[in-house]
Structure formats: C-alpha cells, structure tokens
Amino acid sequence: MRVFTLVFSLLITVATSQTHDDGAETINNSPGHSSSFGYTGLEGPLNWYGLDRKHNGLCAKGRYQSPININSEIHSGRGGISIQIPSASADFENLGTTVEVALSNGLLFTPTGRYNLAQFHFHTPSEHRIHEEEYPLEVHFVFKNPAGRVAVVGFVFEITENRRGNALFENIFSQVHKIASPGTSVRLNRLMFGDLAAHLESNPVYQYSGSLTTPPCTEGVSWFVSSKPLALSTKMFNAIKHVLKFNARYTQNALGEKNLLEVAASELDLASPELHEPVKHELR
Amino acid sequence: MRVFTLVFSLLITVATSQTHDDGAETINNSPGHSSSFGYTGLEGPLNWYGLDRKHNGLCAKGRYQSPININSEIHSGRGGISIQIPSASADFENLGTTVEVALSNGLLFTPTGRYNLAQFHFHTPSEHRIHEEEYPLEVHFVFKNPAGRVAVVGFVFEITENRRGNALFENIFSQVHKIASPGTSVRLNRLMFGDLAAHLESNPVYQYSGSLTTPPCTEGVSWFVSSKPLALSTKMFNAIKHVLKFNARYTQNALGEKNLLEVAASELDLASPELHEPVKHELR
C-alpha cells in the first residue's frame, strides 16, 4: 500500500461516527492529529515511532502490542461474545493503508459490555499468526463503546480449493478492483452478516488485550480472534491482494515482554565498533 | 517455523558440498558457528543480532540487506543470466527454518562468472515485494562460485485459479506433508528444470546486490529475481504453508540506506521519558 495521509480517513470517520463518543477518552486518532504511515522503508512499521514521536510512542515501546503469534498461552473459549450486524448497504473505501467498509450500524456483546461497530477493514497477509502459521488475509471489525474503549473482532482467511468462498466477503471483494486507487470508494449493497455471526459463535475465540496494529498503536484494545478461518476463493484473494499489496505489521513480542524495537535498540547500544566491517556492495 | 539449531543443517551442508570451496572467503556459516534463529519473538528477525552478536552484526547494521521492495530503482533486464540444472533425484529436508532441496548439480551463468548450485529452499509469504506487492510464496536457488561468492535466483509464486501450478514445484510440494517435522526428509524423483530455465530466460530479471535473508545476513550476495510469478495451485499452497507456517524476514530499507533497526534505535535514544505513560492492560 502506498503511504496516504490519515486526514482523508479521519474526515470519513468524523462524518460517519455520529453514534460515537469522541471525548477525551477516545482511543482513536483525533482529527487534530494528522500523520501518515505506510508499510515500506522509513514509512513502515519499524519507523512508525520516528514518523511521529509525539503520538506513536507505544509503537516502539509498548509491551502489549498487536499483532501477536497466538499460542497456547492465549485464552480461547467458545461463546461469551456475539455480533449483531443488520444487513445493509455501505461504502467500500480505499484509504491508502487499507480498504475499509464504513458501516456503523452493528453491535458487539461481550461479558463486560456492549460496543458499537465503527468499520471493518483488511490486511494481507494476516497480521495474527495462529500457532506460528500465517494466513493470506485477515479482516478486523472495529467496535467502540461510548467511553471510547475499542474492541476488535478478527477473522483470518484460508484459500479454498473448491473456489467457493464466504459469500459476504466474496460479494465485497468482487468490487475491490473498482477502488484500486487511494481515495476512491464504491457502494456495496446487500451485505449480510448472519453467517459470520454464526461462525463466531460456533467456534472457539482467542481473547487477549493488545493494541491497534497501526499508529498510534494504542493499547487497551480487547481482541477477539476466531480460531476458524473463513473460506476465500483464489480469484478473490488475488483481486484484493492486488489492491492491498502488503499491509501487515510484523509479529510483536509476547504480551508483557519488552517491545522488540526496545530489544533491538539495547543490543545496538552494546555493540562493539569493530563489528562494523566494510563490505563490498557492487553487483558482480 | 519452529526455532531449530543450525547445527543440523550445517552438517548436511558440509556433507553435500564437496564441490564448494569452504575457505576463508566463504560467505556461509562455517561449521564452527552454530546459532539458532526463528521467526517469532526473541528468536525472530528483529533480534537476530541479539542472538549472536559476534556473527550477526549485519542483520542489524548492514545497509545492503535483503529482502527489499523491488521498485523502479532496481535494474531489470532480459537475458544475461541463465541456469542449467540436469534432471535429478534429491533429498527434500525440513530444516526447521525452511524446507530445502539439497541438489548440488547445477550451474548459474552470469555476465561476471559461473556459479554452482548448493540448494534451493522456500519462504512464505514471499520475502521480496515487487512494486510493494507481496506474493504467497518464494523460492531461492542458492549458488556459490569457487571463491565462495554467493548468487541467489529467486522466483515468487502466484496462486492460479485453474488449479494447475508449475509442474516442477507441484511435484515437490506434493511430498511436503511427509516432512512436517524439523529433521525429517524425503527423496524426490524426476525433478525437471527445463521449464524453469526457460521461464528465467524469457522474462525480465531484477538484479541487485544484497544479503542473505537469514543470519548471519552476509552482504555481497548477487540477487536475481524473476519478474514473472510462477503458478501455484491452491492445494499445494495450503500444503506448503501448513509446514512452513511463516518464515519471511520483514522488508529491509532501500539499498544503501541506514538499517531500519539502526533507525529505530536512534529514535529510542532521543525519546523523552514522559512518553512512557502507564496503560491498563487487562482484557475488559
């Protein structure tokens, strides 16, 4: 994905988030905070802190960062959470760093409270890994409660040999070629979430407290990742990958452990100068 | 991929590399240098230097590191290089960090000299990105010349809708379920490389001087990456991904630019302490 200023997506968020409390406690970017980020070189995840030292400190120093490798230490359980999203039409937008469906009519129920849907968006390859394994695509349904707390429900996708993917997402991805450029959008009709809600309720869900996977990498995000992949056709995988290109943050350290960038920095401090040997770089 | 000590793979390398000059100039690990690495947490790419400060300095400080995002600044050309690999049987081995075909009978011809095949192995997802886009799989054919210089020929794969992938690799991947555990191997028969050689010669090839993508991240590696993906069936993609799980280093900085870990370290040094705000981490 190309770098794209967040101003555009923030305008959209503001325009569509009448149901949200955007007070001081809100976990998202505020409209006054405009920064750009990407997934390549100095705009990429290793330098998100460098792009905005004032706001992105947790990207380099947070110890409860997402995405993680989901291993046996992560709690999983069946039931306890559910989503209710009425069938709807919605805008499908290319934000430069992801493609997003702006749909605020939906609810997440958890043991500790109710959240309102803000949007859902995609990452390729998957951001979470499950027992070390990565998946070709992941969707994040982002919810907020009136106090501004964020909960995200994630599903990974697995490419199916029989060509028949999950109907909801095949419907969505069939339109993705129309929003190949950042800033473009298309209207999606007849989005139906019943099967997805059933999928979430009928399979174990991994639960942990992590962070946003994009700047400012805010922590305190309640993550719910379904253990069972959704089916994705080869055709639609290629279509969405061609637009997303690559937009996954690297796997973070285990929850509670030192941020991997802090680890790297402390190593470099201790390095002896004689390790910097000159090396020839010409292509022979 | 699980962490796995390199001792095992080094024994294999030594046992099968009679044709190589293993003198002081050799770019590979020497048998006396045993280190382990992986792709998760403290064993992962951000901490490869920390795993072995004596040998892995370039992983954190090198400025010509691979893999890169291949953009318009990378030279591409048709012709000029070719491979000749006789049809053969070979062992297909799970080294813990990758799966590898040990086949030393093969040649690479470049404008500046001839190299001998050492082995080829796989990464998922692709390590190189082409114009920002990532691919689900990449193969690296590793060659060395008698002076110990390394050249790698890489191909990315694209999943095909018609179920028919490249015959050579479909043949290989059909056996990958037999080497699901590190340390196991299986004999492959009738490997035919004619189509691959033709593919390489009939499409533009990106060329640059970079590094090994695994510790010790040695630089001075001549990279040749075919611009045209090979076809991969969905069935075989799922089969090899299930064994490899995830073994791609993150995209490095542009060639000649400061190592991204050095960039991150310099930012952390400059950070003000007040950015370390306490954050609640319970799952609500």
Q: What is the pLDDT of residues B59-83, one digit of tens each?
A: 999 999 999 999 999 999 987 899 9
Smallest CA–CA distance, residue A266 to chain B, in Å, is: 8
What residue spans define the domains of chain B?
2-21+28-275
Question: From CA A273, how far away is CA A177, in angstroms rounded?
Answer: 50
- Does B114 reach chain A within 8 Å, measured CB to CB? no
Q: What share of chain A is helix, strand, coil (3-state, %, to 5)?
A: 25, 30, 45
User: Residue B42 is encoded by which pair of tokens?
Assistant: 């403290």
φ/ψ of residue A21, rounded to 5: -85, 115
Other Cβ atoms closer than 10 A to A101? 20
Beta-bridge mates of residue B186: B92
Among residues A31, A27, A65, which one has the least CA distance to residue A144? A27
Asked whether residue B279 carries a pLDDT value surpassing 80, the answer given is: no
B5 against B91, higher pLDDT: B91
CA-CA distance, A260 to A126, in Å (whole number)?
Answer: 19
B146 touches chain A (CB under 8 A): no
Phi–psi pair at B239, nearest 5 degrees: -65, -45
All residues of chain A having their beta carbon less than 8 Å from the beta carbon of residue B265 are: 261, 264-265, 268-269
Sign of torsion over alpha carbons B118, B124, B129, B133: positive
Cα A207 from chain centre: 15
User: Which tens digit of pLDDT belongs to each residue from B95-105?
Assistant: 999 999 999 99
Asked if residue A211 lies in contact with residue A223, where contact means CB atoms within 8 angstroms, the answer is no
Using a CB-CB distance cutoff of 8 angstroms, which residues of chain A are in contact with residue B270? 53
pLDDT at B17 exceeding the cut of 60: no
Burial of B62 (0-12, 13-18, 19+ CB in 10 A): buried
**In whole angstroms, what is the distance from residue B140 CA to residue B122 CA?**
6
Q: State the Cα–Cα distance between residues A248 and A244, nearest whole angstrom.
A: 10
A139 vs A232: CA distance, rounded Å = 12
**Residue B244 CB contacts under 8 Å (≥ 6 apart), including other chains:** B1, B98, B99, B122, B123, B124
* Cross-chain residue pair B241–A57, CB shorter than 8 Å: no
Please say if the pLDDT value at position A86 is more than 90: yes
Alpha carbon distance A267, B140 (integer Å) = 30
Crossing angle between the packed helical segments B260-270 and A260-270, to the nearest 10 degrees: 90
What mean pLDDT comes out for the span B85-108? 97
For B133, which DSSP code? B
What band does A59 get if pLDDT is binned at 50, 70 and 90?
very high
H or E segment to which residue A95 belongs: none
In this structure, what token pair is assigned to residue B71? Answer: 């953009």
| Residue range A208-244, pLDDT digits in tens | 999 999 999 999 999 999 999 999 999 999 999 999 9
Q: In the prediction, which pLDDT does A35 show?
A: 52
Mean of pLDDT values over B222-240: 98
* Bond from prior residue into B215 cis (ω within 30 degrees of 0): no
Q: What is the C-alpha to C-alpha distance for residues A259 and B267, in angstroms, rounded to an integer?
A: 14
Query: Within an 8 Å CB–CB cutoff, is residue B148 touching chain A?
Result: no
Between CA A265 and CA B50 the distance in angstroms is 10
State residue B115 phi and psi, 5-degree precision.
Answer: -125, 155
A267 interfacial to chain B (CB closer than 8 Å): yes
Tokens encoding B232: 């991969």
Quote the pLDDT of residue B35. Answer: 52
Beta bridge partners of A115: A108
Question: Which positions ≥6 away from A162 have C-beta within 8 Å?
Answer: none
- pLDDT tens digits for A252-273? 999 999 999 999 999 887 544 4
pLDDT at residue number A78: 87
User: Is the separation of the CB atoms in A92 and A135 below 8 Å?
Assistant: no
Any A CB within 8 A of B257 CB: yes
Q: Is the pLDDT of residue A7 over 90?
A: no
Using DSSP, state whether A113 is helix, strand or coil.
Answer: strand
Phi, psi of B238 (to 5 degrees): -60, -35
The pLDDT value recorded for residue A28 is 41
Core vs surface per residue A166-197: b (16+ CB within 10 A) or e: bebbbbbbebbeebeebeebeebeebebeebe
Per-residue pLDDT at B213: 98
Q: What mean pLDDT comes out for the span B130-135?
A: 98
Lowest-pLDDT range of A18-22, B1-5, B111-115, B252-256: A18-22
Listed residue (B237, B229, B65) closest to B156, CA to CA: B229
For residues B141-146, give the mean pLDDT. 97
Contact between residue B50 and residue B242 where contact means Cβ atoms under 8 Å apart: no
Q: Does A265 touch chain B (CB under 8 A)?
A: yes
**Residue B262: which pLDDT band, with cuts at 50, 70 and 90?**
very high
B257 pLDDT tier (thresholds 50, 70, 90): very high
Reduced to 3 states, what is the DSSP secondary structure of residue A39? coil
Work out whether the CA dihedral A214, B37, B148, A280 comes out positive or negative.
Answer: positive
- Across all residues in chain A, what is the average pLDDT? 87
**What is the pLDDT averaged over residues B145-160?**
97
For residue A82, the cross-strand partners are: A109
Q: Rounded CA gap, B7 and B13, in Å?
A: 10
Please say whether the beta carbons of A57 and B271 come within 8 A. yes
- Given a cut of 80, whether residue B180 has pLDDT beyond it is yes
pLDDT digits (tens, 9 = 90+) for A111-150: 989 999 999 999 999 999 999 999 999 999 999 999 999 9
Return the bridge partners of B129, or none: B69
CB atoms within 10 A of CB A274: 7
Q: Are A134 and B125 in contact (CB under 8 A)?
A: yes
**What confidence score (pLDDT) does residue A126 get?**
98
**Is residue A56 over pLDDT 90?**
yes
Q: Which residue has the higher pLDDT, B122 or A269?
A: B122
CA distance B163 to chain A (A): 8
What's the mean pLDDT in A178-207? Answer: 97
The domain A2-21+28-275 having CATH identifier 3.10.200.10: the answer here is yes
- Contact of A280 with chain B, judged by CB distance below 8 Å, is answered with yes
Q: How far apart are CA B279 and CA B257, in angstroms?
A: 35
pLDDT cut 90: percent of chain A above it: 79
pLDDT at A181 exceeding the cut of 70: yes
Of all residues in chain A, the one with the smallest CA distance to B232 is: A234
A268/B220 Cβ within 8 A:
no
Residue count of chain A: 284
